[in-house]
Amino acid sequence: MSPSPARLCVLLGDQLDDASPLLSRGPDAGTVLWLAEVRAESTHVWSSKVRTTLFLSAMRHFRDRLRQRGWTVIYRQLDEADNQGSLGAELARTLAQLRPRQVALVQPGDFRVLRELEATCQAAQVPLQIHPDPHFLCPREVFHAHVGGRKQLRMEFFYREMRRREKVLLTPEGEPEGGAWNFDEENRASFGREGPGAVPAPRRFLPDALTREVIALVEAQFPGHPGQLEAFDWPVSAEEAELALADFIAHRLPLFGRYQDALWQGEPWLYHSRLAAAMNLKLLSPRRVIQAAEAAYRQGQVPLAAAEGFIRQILGWREYVRGIYWEFMPEYAEKNALQATEALPPFYWTGEVPMACLRDALGQTLRHGYAHHIQRLMVTGLYSLLLGVRPQAVHEWYLAVYVDAVEWVELPNTLGMSQYADGGLLASKPYIASGKYLQRMSNHCAHCPYDPARATGSGACPFTTLYWDFILRHDALLRGNPRLGMQVRNADRLSPAERSRIQEQAQRLRASGGIPPTVPSDTLF
């Protein structure tokens, strides 16, 4: 290795991208690649063991791949005795040792990391060149132009622009395939009484020697962190991610749209893809995923509604939330439009809670580092929204526990979509519902000691109590939103006595950490 390379290329744990612009020239004598495992990335939020394991294992697999391809790689392991513990400190040391003429970096996925690396290079007086990230389909300046002078941002309009821009699911005349931009009326069914039947199990990727080494490291270094590693089976390389994609397209995409919003006790995956983590680490390109889904439709393997519903999540939502993040950071992270101040209930970190829907979502979150979108939005997210938890505490939890959690995607989803903390910038209404919604979309209520139809009394469903309480607390805000008119009008029918009982019961729930103080006797845990 040259003692003073022309270029030090920093690759972050979520930039394990074969197509990175930093790798496009191929290995050359003047370039050194740099990756570092550091403690701070697992402790700035209380990162789950599953999430940390996935990141470190994927990084080590990528390191070996780069070395096999002839790159010079400096790789700092977490357990090296002199590891400085933070990206900034580790980079500062390498800069002092190597004195490169330039540091190159692809736009990070986290504002905090960008600031830290900028400050480090500035202090070391080494120029930092930041490249746009071609992994994403919507460059930041294109999103900025989309925001333009619009009073209101809506994903649907952005998505249509992206369909046209990327020529996805269009007819030869440039119109939306099937004559509509979305087919939601064919999607979003529940499983009904019969249940989901035999859902095709997703392909698993059992830990190889490298991953087992990381599992041992994580257990030793982060023993008190949340999460369990016994069931770890996430793809950790580009090859495994490709196999996971093929498995999803062949077996679960056909019913993805239809059951996108359904929940079922003990079924963590249903028809979801499990591809977010691989995409967010850049093991898998979103273009590749979208092309595969469109090809499956064009070859008659999946209905249009399924392909479109799936593509919308990636070409629409994924790009849209990233645009929002970079457009509105750093102020976005501090938003709290509903002025929510409650602490996050401790049971979010343990899963020990009598409410069946929460217990199921939290249990699988800790076991797999995964919950599907409706569990995140309409179970864990809904409950903290209704309780009035400070959105920044909710954000820290989501960033900590999911394998696919990187701030650019997690923060707008949590603060904007789920907690309405941005006051409606990202979503057109707060996503609120009572226990009856969960009863309709899942079988959880049949396994629960509470009654989704009851808002008060000892067997009342806490979601239902807090739902009415939320409407009463935020009456002025909700009354002004045409999408919530019916819910507000229903609350208008509550008698003064019913309102008081609901509000008192909600207060008792808050005082007892979100769990009803008296649990009916047939509680299951």
Footprint on this chain of ligand FAD (rule: CB under 6 A): 272-276, 279-280, 310, 313-314, 317-318, 321, 372-373, 376-377, 381, 398, 402, 404-405, 409-410, 413-414, 417-418
Query: Smallest gap, in angstroms, from Cβ of residue 461 to ligand SF4?
Result: 3
Report helix, strand or coil for 159. helix
Residue 372 vs 474, nearer CB to ligand FAD: 372
Tokens of 280: 């967010």
Give the binding-site size for ligand SF4 (rule: CB under 6 A).
14
User: Which residues have a Cβ under 8 Å from the Cβ of 17 and sit 6 or more positions away?
Assistant: 23, 106, 135, 282, 283, 285
Q: Which does 364 bind (CB under 5 to 8 A by kind): ligand SF4, ligand FAD, none?
A: none
Binding segment toward ligand SF4, per CB under 6 A, in 108-116, 184-192, 337-345, 443-451: 443-451
How remote is the C-alpha of 132 from its chain's centroid?
Answer: 22
The span of 282-290, 293-301, 311-319, 350-358 binding ligand SF4 (CB under 6 A) equals: 350-358
Between strands 31-36 and 7-10, the pairing is parallel
**Which of 243, 233, 230, 210 is CA-nearest to residue 59?**
210
Name which of ligand SF4, ligand FAD, none residue 47 binds, using a CB cut-off of 5 to 8 Å depending on partner kind: none
For residue 74, report the phi and psi dihedrals to the nearest 5 degrees.
-95, 125
Decide which of ligand SF4, ligand FAD, none touches 87; Cβ closer than 5 to 8 Å per partner kind: none
Nearest-Å Rg of the Cα atoms of the chain is 24
**Taking CB under 6 A as the criterion, which residues in 459-478 touch ligand SF4?**
461-463
The DSSP call for residue 460 is: B
Instruction: Give least dist CB 438 to ligand SF4, A.
Output: 4
Q: Binding of ligand SF4 at residue 444 (CB under 6 A)?
A: yes
Which one of residues 448, 471, 478, 502 is an interface residue with ligand SF4 (CB under 6 A)?
448
CB of 130 to ligand FAD, least distance (A): 23
Binding partner at 282 among ligand FAD, ligand SF4, none, C-beta below 5 to 8 Å by kind: none
417 contact, one of ligand FAD, ligand SF4, none, CB 5-8 Å limit per kind: ligand FAD
CA distance 510 to 473: 14
Distance CA 433, CA 220 (A): 42
Q: What are the residue ranges of helices labelled H in 329-388?
A: 356-368, 373-375, 381-387
Residue choice 357, 425, 466, 506 for contact with ligand SF4 (CB under 6 A): 357
Task: State in angstroms the smallest separation of the CB of 330 from ligand FAD.
Answer: 18
| Cβ contact 51:227 at 8 Å | yes
- Picking from 19, 54, 16, 50, the residue whose alpha carbon sits closest to that of residue 35 is 16
- The binder of ligand SF4 chosen from 439, 465, 487, 505 (CB under 6 A): 439
Q: If contact means CB under 5 to 8 A according to the sort of partner, which of ligand FAD, ligand SF4, none does residue 377 touch?
A: ligand FAD
Distance CA 234, CA 231 (A): 9
What number of other Cβ atoms are within 10 A of residue 232's Cβ?
26
348 binds ligand SF4 (CB under 6 A): no
| 270 vs 448, beta carbon nearer ligand SF4 | 448
Closest approach of Cβ 13 to ligand SF4, in Å?
35
Smallest distance from ligand SF4 to CB 188, Å:
18
- Binding flag, residue 182, ligand SF4 (CB under 6 A): no
User: Taking Cα atoms as reference points, which of 239, 235, 209, 8 lies closest to residue 103?
Assistant: 8
Cβ atoms 461, 491 nearer than 8 A: no
Closest separation between CB of residue 463 and ligand SF4, Å? Answer: 5
Q: What 3-state class would DSSP assign to 31?
A: strand
Instruction: Report the candidate in 429, 441, 448 with the shortest Cα–Cα distance to residue 487.
Output: 429
Rounded to whole angstroms, the Cα distance separating 226 from 248 reads 28
Positions in 233-262 near ligand SF4 (CB under 6 A): none
By C-beta, is 126 or 321 nearer to ligand FAD? Answer: 321
Q: Residue 307: which of ligand SF4, ligand FAD, none does it interact with, CB under 5 to 8 A by kind?
A: none
In angstroms, rounded to a whole number, what is the distance separating the alpha carbons of residues 372 and 419? 17
| 420 Cα distance to chain centroid | 16
**What are φ and ψ of residue 106, in 5° steps?**
-90, 145
According to the binding rule CB under 6 A, does residue 371 interact with ligand SF4?
no
The answer to whether residue 435 forms part of the interface with ligand SF4 (CB under 6 A) is: yes
Contact set with ligand SF4 (CB under 6 A) = 355-357, 435, 438-439, 444-445, 448, 450, 452, 461-463
